Copies of this chain bind each other. A is one copy, B any other.
């Protein structure tokens, strides 16, 4: 899946990787699980990405570093990372679970082109505030939200003329 960058951020630094590993190791200890080389490799690979990765896509990247690591381990580690806040699920609408790392990144949302599948990220403080407001109003203790906009990007509109105006 393509992604158009709106703002280029530097790729993650070694210190950040170390800090993220610290977070993971602390979480593992807390819930009585063990550190393993596989889990560290998967975390490092994950941090190096800036896409929205399916388990399968991450597994493919991980195998380049250690071909012996299996799909199941990637799948389980991704859940662990989500548990300790290092990863978060982004559900697009295609029946595949995707994850992205939130490490040192501003909270953001996605606008997805329903034609070509490319996406842009955008930021909105209003949405964050809205989560708080609505939660307070109906007495929910909110933990997170999802906000996606679907539409057709400029390129696809040019490519397809007016046919696709839905």
Q: Which residues of A contact B (CB under 8 A)?
A: 6, 89, 91, 93, 111, 113-114, 120, 122, 124, 126-127, 130-131, 134-135, 137-154, 157, 165-166
Instruction: Specify which chain B residues have a CB less than 8 angstroms from the CB of A114 in the assembled complex.
Output: 143
A145 touches B149 (CB 8 A): yes
Please judge, given known A-B contacts A141-B157, A141-B165, whether A149 and B134 are in contact too, CB under 8 Å: yes
CB distance from A38 to the nearest CB of B (A): 26
Q: Given A126-B126, A145-B148, are A113 and B140 neighbors across the interface (CB < 8 Å)?
A: yes
Give CA–CA (A6, B137) in the complex, Å.
Answer: 11
- Determine the residue in chain B with the shortest Cβ distance to A134: B122
Known contacts A93-B89, A127-B130: A151-B147 contact under CB 8 Å: no
Q: What is the chain B residue whose CB lies nearest that of A93?
A: B91
10 A-B residue pairings within 8 Å (CB atoms): A89-B93, A91-B93, A111-B134, A111-B138, A127-B127, A131-B149, A134-B149, A142-B150, A145-B147, A147-B147
Closest-by-CB residue of B relative to A114 is B143
Are A151 and B143 neighbours in the complex by a CB distance under 8 Å?
yes
Does the CB pair B150–A143 fall under 8 Å? yes
**CB distance A138 to B150 under 8 Å?**
no
Closest 10 pairs between A and B when the two form their complex, measured CB to CB? A142-B151, A140-B151, A139-B154, A145-B149, A147-B147, A141-B152, A146-B148, A143-B166, A120-B138, A144-B150
